[in-house]
């Protein structure tokens, strides 16, 4: 702060003298720049280090299994045969389902808080959303397994399964064991976990919409719904995509909560109620006891796969943002 103030004060003086005078405290300025530079490169170095060590650790698995590592869903630690197709599908499906559930709800929460909420309710609801974001994921997992699963089984799974007409697609999607776990249950828990992130970010974004813009829309006779859909939402569109991607990033990498409730079976999930697994849950389950060799290498390699999936998601988000910027 002081450096900035000094530089600013020194500039008019330099202008009047018509000579380049080194501003007072420029030594500190240089040191400050170096510290910032070091912090930024440290981050990059850490990222590179993680990537390189994942590559080295996972290389035996890639070299041994080749393409079948990505296409096979066999996970057999006894015979040292590993393929991560099942966990990849599980990761992508649960994350997308979670977003499908969380995004509309988050929209609702954020718009309610900004546009509709009566004054005295604003703070309690806002704080509740922030508190929800601070709960550790293992608590969500335990809650999911011991509280949510029995309720989900009794009031969602069983009715849906018994109501399904035999032979229909509906029956296909709802087959499995009605014990409250599986792909859909994990997706719902994930949705609850990413909801506060998306909702809180969206609320902040909506608050940045200038009051004049909104009020002129109302002045033209627009209804609340029209203002939201045609004025405020387009105004913050880019930021909203960023918020959703943030949520997706968290859903992809979530470990403990998913491990508790997804059922942990390595094959392809066949229905919404079937047990599955994600890359993160597989690593959490098996790394501690994995034998050195192909088992450990395969787990590290699957970590690299998750890294790449997350990278692709972020890159896609960037592309979408970039395209909108040019429009």
Binding stretches for another protein (CB under 8 A): 74-79, 81, 145-146, 149-150, 153, 177, 179-181, 259-260, 263-266, 275, 277, 281, 284-286, 288-292
**Could you give the residue ranges of the DSSP H alpha helices within the chain?**
2-17, 26-65, 68-71, 85-111, 119-134, 137-143, 149-152, 158-163, 169-173, 183-207, 211-219, 224-227, 233-253, 256-261, 279-286, 294-326
Concatenating the DSSP letter of every residue in 233-266 gives HHHHHHHHHHHHHHHHHHHHH--HHHHHHSB---
CA distance 306 to 312: 10
Shortest separation between residue 185's beta carbon and another protein, angstroms = 11
The three-point CA angle 15-16-22 to 5° equals 50
Q: Which is nearer to another protein, 144 or 247 (CB)?
A: 144
193, 250 Cβ separation under 8 angstroms: yes
Nearer Cβ to another protein (146/311): 146
Q: How far is the CB of 256 from another protein (least distance, A)?
A: 8
Comparison of 263 and 303: residue with beta carbon closer to another protein: 263
Task: Give the shortest CB-72-to-another protein separation in angstroms.
Answer: 12
By beta-carbon proximity to another protein, the closer residue of 181 and 232 is 181
> Nearest distance from residue 58's CB to another protein, in Å?
17
Q: How far is the CB of 122 from another protein (least distance, A)?
A: 38
- CA 195, CA 98: separation in Å to the nearest integer? 9
Residue 230 CB, shortest distance to another protein, in Å, is 47
Taken as a whole, the chain contains a residue count of 327
Task: Read off φ and ψ for residue 289, nearest 5 degrees.
Answer: -110, 5
C-beta of 105 vs 175, nearer to another protein: 175
Nearer to another protein, 115 or 171 (CB): 171
| Minimum distance, C-beta of residue 249 to another protein, in the bound complex (Å) | 23
DSSP single-letter state for residue 19: S
Q: How far is CA 266 from the centre of its chain?
A: 23
Closer by beta carbon to another protein, 107 or else 268: 268
Taking the C-alpha atoms of residue 128 and residue 49, their distance in angstroms, rounded to an integer, is 38
């Amino acid at each position: 702060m002081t450096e900035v103030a000094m530089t600013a004060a020194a500039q008019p003086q330099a202008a009047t003298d018509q000579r380049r005078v080194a501003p007072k405290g420029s030594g500190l300025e240089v040191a400050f720049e170096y510290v910032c530079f070091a912090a930024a490169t440290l981050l990059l170095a850490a990222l590179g280090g993680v990537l390189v060590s994942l590559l080295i650790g996972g290389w035996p698995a890639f070299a041994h299994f080749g393409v079948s590592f990505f296409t096979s869903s066999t996970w057999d630690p006894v015979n040292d045969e590993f393929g991560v197709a099942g966990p990849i599908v599980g990761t992508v499906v649960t994350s997308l389902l979670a977003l499908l559930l969380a995004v509309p709800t988050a929209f609702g929460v954020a718009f309610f808080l900004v546009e509709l909420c009566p004054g005295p309710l604003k703070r309690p609801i806002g704080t509740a959303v922030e508190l929800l974001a601070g709960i550790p994921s293992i608590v969500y997992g335990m809650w999911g397994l011991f509280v949510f699963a029995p309720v989900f089984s009794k009031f969602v799974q069983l009715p849906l399964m018994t109501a399904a007409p035999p032979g229909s697609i509906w029956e296909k999607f709802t087959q499995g064991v009605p014990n409250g776990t599986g792909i859909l249950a994990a997706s719902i828990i994930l949705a609850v976990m990413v909801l506060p992130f998306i909702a809180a970010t969206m609320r902040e974004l909506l608050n940045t919409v200038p009051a004049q813009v909104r009020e002129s829309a109302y002045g033209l006779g627009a209804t609340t719904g029209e203002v939201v859909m045609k004025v405020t939402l387009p105004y913050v569109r880019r930021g909203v995509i960023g918020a959703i991607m943030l949520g997706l990033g968290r859903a992809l990498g979530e470990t403990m909560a998913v491990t508790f409730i997804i059922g942990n079976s390595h094959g392809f999930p066949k229905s919404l109620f079937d047990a599955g697994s994600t890359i993160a849950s597989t690593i959490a389950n098996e790394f501690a006891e994995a034998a050195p060799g192909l088992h450990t290498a395969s787990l590290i390699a699957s970590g690299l796969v998750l890294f790449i999936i997350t990278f692709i998601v972020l890159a896609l988000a960037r592309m979408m943002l970039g395209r909108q910027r040019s429009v």
